[in-house]
A and B are shown apart, each in its own frame.
Chain A
Amino acid sequence: MFNFLFKKENRVEELLYSYIENFNLIQEHFDKAILSYMGEGQYEEFDFLKSRTHKFESKADDIIDEINNLMYGKVLIPDSRQDIMFLLHSIDKIPGTMENILFSIKYQQIEIPSDIILQLKDLIRISMESCRTLSKQIKKFIENKKGIRSLLNIIDKNESHCDYIEKNLIKHIFNSEIDPFLILQLKELIINIGNISDQADIVSKQVNILSIKRRV
């Protein structure tokens, strides 16, 4: 009824949902891109998906900039302003990591050995699941719904699982006969992919704290 009084607030809300939508698109394209790279030489498709991922990542930055500008215009009460900006800057590290991974694969032309592909796919699958769960958790936070804690548990479990796979993979490549230079490239790639679920876990815990903080 009083929506006309809160035009800027409505715009921030719209942008926040659009950021989450965009975040889902980034991870969807990242997932497809990396899987196509690991597939049978689908480099053209990889290039296309990499550029799409980059496009959505830039869009995410634009959305954050617009929200930032609106926040400087004193939209929302200070506590909500602080919580939302803190959360956005924290989530935004994930698309950045995804883009860096695709960038390093493309320009380092990393040759992924076939014996680690299955485990690497597992690592990516679980990381993507964490990202999707994180999107749901953030939506629940915005909509002030219950279930934030249970989603945190799923993300936390995924993060432990990813850590386990990550360590296994690193151990495996260092015990293999592959070229030492490639070992270092692969190690960096594995750690970067592992960082996705680590960051998702960090953000998820922050969302949980913010939701507890908002209860009176």
Chain B
Amino acid sequence: MYSLLGGIFLGWSLGANDASNVIGTAVSSRMIKFWTAAILASIFIILGALISGQAGIETLKGLTSFNLSQAVISSIAAAITVTIMTLFGLPVSTSQSVVGAIIGISIINHQLNFGGLGKVLICWFTTPVGSAVITVIIYKCFAFFYNHLKIGLFGLDRLLKFGLIISGSYGAYVLGANNVANVTAVFVGAGKLNVFAAALIGGVSIAFGVLTFSRPVMETVGKKLVKLDPFSALMVSISLGVTLHIYTVIGVPVSSSQAVVGGVLGIGLVKGVSTVSMQTLKNIFFAWFLTPVVACIIAILITFGSYLEYMGPN
């Protein structure tokens, strides 16, 4: 049981950090109360992990074959990377941290699955771009219908509120489905857990992070993000859900933070305005390369450290 603590800690930090991507807009703009959003998100994260989380678990599990101590090391290395990157204020991706740590251990094991890794890398590069494209398409289609709706100001208000609740729940569902693999897939690879148990423990630990520590993160992220009008916020939320859903079907865990930034960029493209500052973009690209590299190095260092033995004075 203690060997799972690294994964549970990682799941908790993932829930605390990434909840702001799916429900942050609605909560920080006070469209929905925090507890309503957090409870809904937690339920849907667990459902997503249980119902649709298997594909991602299979992909990460297939990247290499670990023993239990290596699985624990990869979880700890990923969690340390997330913490370091957060301390430096860089937009961290738990998926990249986990994959980076897995690569580190696979290098030591000399058994890296290059086919699986290539698939993961392609998905990383296409996440923000894909999300931006999806946002543009969704925005154009929905805007056409929205502008022709024959309902009043109050009806539209209700529609947007309902839309945000539904898209937030959908986002939470796919976040659970897509990211549960980051939390517990290595334990499936090590033979410690079966896929269902991994999905359940991963889902619950992410939900625990949402319920206990997502509020302060959400408030900080909400202030940093560009202020979108309610319709654009809804479009970004739907686009995030669709993007994560596509990658869930492919079976690759991707970063919800990068998908959100891609979505906000997409809104900028539609409206012809700059929605994300150059500094934010630089930070994202910098973190893109740095996160897996740091996680990989930390995993290698911890693995070497675990081989050290105390020799004594003689």
Residues of A near any B CB (own CB < 8 A): 2, 6, 9-10, 12-13, 74, 76-80, 84, 141-144, 214-216
Cβ A144 vs Cβ B149 within 8 A: yes
Q: Are A77 and B160 in contact (CB under 8 A)?
A: yes
B89 CB–A CB distance under 8 Å: no
User: Please, which residue of chain A has its CB at the minimum distance from the CB of B154?
Assistant: A13
Please, how many residues of chain B have a CB less than 8 angstroms from a CB on the other chain?
Answer: 24
Q: When the two chains form their complex, are residues A142 and B153 in contact, meaning their CB atoms are under 8 A apart?
A: yes
Given contacts A13-B154, A144-B149, 14 further A-B pairs with CB under 8 A are A2-B158, A6-B158, A77-B29, A78-B30, A78-B31, A78-B230, A80-B154, A142-B152, A142-B153, A144-B152, A144-B153, A144-B155, A214-B153, A216-B146
B305 smallest CB distance to A (angstroms): 51
Q: How far is the CB of B32 from the nearest CB of chain A, in Å?
A: 10
Min distance, Cβ A87 to any Cβ of chain B, angstroms: 10
B229 interface residue (CB < 8 Å to A): yes
- Tell me the complex Cα distance, A9–B29, Å: 17
Quick one: given A77-B161, A79-B230, are A9 and B147 in contact (CB under 8 Å)? no
CB distance from A10 to the nearest CB of B (A): 8
B63 nearest CB across to chain A (Å): 42
B158 touches A216 (CB 8 A): no
Collect the chain A residues with CB atoms within 8 Å of residue B231's CB. Answer: 216
Tell me the interface secondary structure of chain B in the complex: helix
Q: In the bound complex, how far is the Cα of B276 from the Cα of A38, in angstroms?
A: 62
The distance from the CB of B235 to the nearest CB of chain A, in whole angstroms, is: 9
Interchain nearest-CB distance for A35 vs B (Å)? 35
In the complex, 21 of the A-B residue pairs with CB atoms within 8 angstroms, ordered by the A residue number, are: A6-B154, A9-B154, A12-B154, A13-B154, A76-B157, A77-B157, A77-B230, A78-B30, A78-B31, A78-B230, A80-B154, A141-B153, A142-B152, A144-B149, A144-B150, A144-B152, A144-B153, A144-B156, A214-B156, A215-B147, A216-B146
Q: Look across to chain A and name the residue whose beta carbon is closest to the beta carbon of B164.
A: A77
In the assembly, what is the distance between CA of A143 and CA of B29, in Å? Answer: 24
The one of A78, A144, A215 that contacts B29, using a Cβ cutoff of 8 Å: A78
Q: Kindly list chain B residues whose C-beta atoms are within 8 Å of the C-beta of A9.
A: 154, 157-158
Say yes or no: is B5 at the interface (Cβ < 8 Å to chain A): no
- Report which of B153, B157, B158 forms a contact with A143, defined as CB distance below 8 A: B153
In the bound assembly, the distance between CA atoms of A140 and B153 in angstroms comes to: 10
The 8 closest A-B pairs by CB, nearest first: A143-B152, A216-B143, A216-B231, A80-B157, A13-B154, A144-B152, A142-B153, A77-B31
B residues near A6, Cβ cutoff 8 Å? 154, 158
| Chain A, residue nearest B144 (CB) | A216
Kindly provide the distance from the CB of B309 to the nearest chain A CB, expressed in whole angstroms.
Answer: 61
Bound-state Cα–Cα, A215 to B147, Å: 6
The smallest beta-carbon distance between B88 and chain A, in angstroms, is: 32
- A41 to nearest B CB, angstroms? 47
B137-180 CB contact bits vs A (8 Å, 1 = yes)?
00100010011011111111110111000000000000000000
A76 to B32, CA, bound (A): 10
Given contacts A77-B29, A79-B229, A79-B230, contact A144 B157 (CB under 8 A): no
Give the distance in Å from the alpha carbon of A79 to the alpha carbon of B151 in the complex.
Answer: 17
Distance in angstroms from B55 CB to nearest chain A CB is 35
Residue ID in chain A nearest B142 by CB atoms:
A216
Q: Which residue of B lies closest to A3 (CB)?
A: B158
Cβ-closest chain A residue relative to B158: A6
> How many angstroms from the CA of A215 to the CA of B231 in the assembled complex?
10
Task: Name the CB-closest residue of B to A74.
Answer: B30
How many Å from the CB of B166 to the closest CB on chain A? 13
Give Cα A216 to B155, complex, Å: 16
**With a CB–CB cut-off of 8 A, which chain A residues contact B149?**
144
Chain A residues, Cβ within 8 Å of B152: 142-144
Which residue of B139, B154, B156, B232 has the most chain A CB atoms within 10 A of its CB atom? Answer: B154
Residues of B within 8 A of A2 (CB): 158, 162
Residue of A nearest to B160 (CB): A77
Report the bound CA distance from A10 to B153 in whole Å.
12
Chain A residues closer than 8 Å to B31, beta-carbon distance: 77-78
For residue B160, which residues in chain A have a CB less than 8 angstroms away from its CB?
77
Q: How far is the CA of A10 from the CA of B154 in the complex (A)?
A: 8
Report how far A9 CA is from B30 CA in the complex, Å: 15
Give the Cβ gap from A207 to chain B, nearest Cβ, in Å. 11
> CB-nearest residue of chain B relative to A141?
B153
What's the least CB distance linking B124 to chain A, in Å?
Answer: 31
In the bound assembly, the distance between CA atoms of A10 and B158 in angstroms comes to 11
Query: Nearest-CB distance from A182 to chain B (Å)?
Result: 47
